[in-house]
Structure 1
């Protein structure tokens, strides 16, 4: 017997993707409205797609530069300059984790865009993956920062996962405090911080317990725990003939064939 309808056409796949996106953003908009009404929360403020933007009361999709732009430019500051030149009317949000120099590159971007930084028109997005600490941190230093900035967060029982979000690798609570302190110490106290990388509802709750100094959370890669094995990213690893990836993702580069 010949099976029919088992392989969807490209058009139906695209349609299904759009429908699922619409359902997800609609659910987010309903939840946000209730959170605002009952808990005075901000809720979701935007989505990446123009088609679903009106569900969150915005005219267009929101987003930031991709890591690939920094890989192409070869410099975080150069990528920011290229983005600003191409989209002068767009808000400037700059990724700072590609080269593993979150603090150094963040301060360099502020120096390159001093007017925007002083006027609160510059945002820095930190998206450090869980394979390494943010520049200048280790476990001991992370505990020290939280003990100084949010002591109650680490003076109570925590699960292993909660401790990783507080003082571990990647975008931890300690990392965000460390990032904010570095900006403030350099005089850039009006620069906004955007945090992303695995921000589930539970991680957000832990971050709130540490009163992390963030202005916006990106949740683009979050999937329910039961679907954790379906997580994936798409990284550009070659620019022309040059192989280049963000620090910590070197395992994606093709290894030379063994000669043995």
Structure 2
């Protein structure tokens, strides 16, 4: 197909612009807003809904990310060589994709309801938070839409093999040789999902989502610290309590 200047910009330049904003924004936050690099937890204001919505959202989101990595970055020939045929992959992708999408969307819906209906939590919500929720929900909804259309076989998206077009386009971006024609010819639902994903990448470092870059993985490898309790000192001076550094006592 003949590419228009808009196609070249959207599918050849915009992805790099979004990643550029992600990198520069993250560096800026780290250098000049390090103390604001936090989830700004509102657990003190309300915890019951948070205990349900937060795990549901985070677990679902991990599955969504894993599904995108497998579907977009791993070539079809690799899964075929591993013994996972097209029919098996299709069933797995639809089942896990719908389950992960519903989990994530349900979790974020519960968290938004919590923020809207709990006064102290709502007052702690910034404009950036509201923008983040809009873009994140739009990404989830458009992603689920493509999955449902693919599962039902409805419309252009229902008969579309994204592993032969969208996936190679994504991999071409990593090779710095974007094949814009592959995405320009994709159904509208896939293009809409990609554009919302670019928006999410661009605003990522300017919202509370940036805390994902500082997940406490190192906590698992912290050395033990020795604490001596008053009771242990009075009863048996030899008794000591050990715990992870920074762990609640």
Higher relative contact order (CA 8 A, sep 6+): 2
- TM-score, normalised with respect to structure 2: 0.26
Task: Name the larger-Rg structure.
Answer: 2
Structure number with the higher helix fraction is 2
Structure number with the higher strand fraction is 1
- TM-score, normalised with respect to structure 1: 0.25
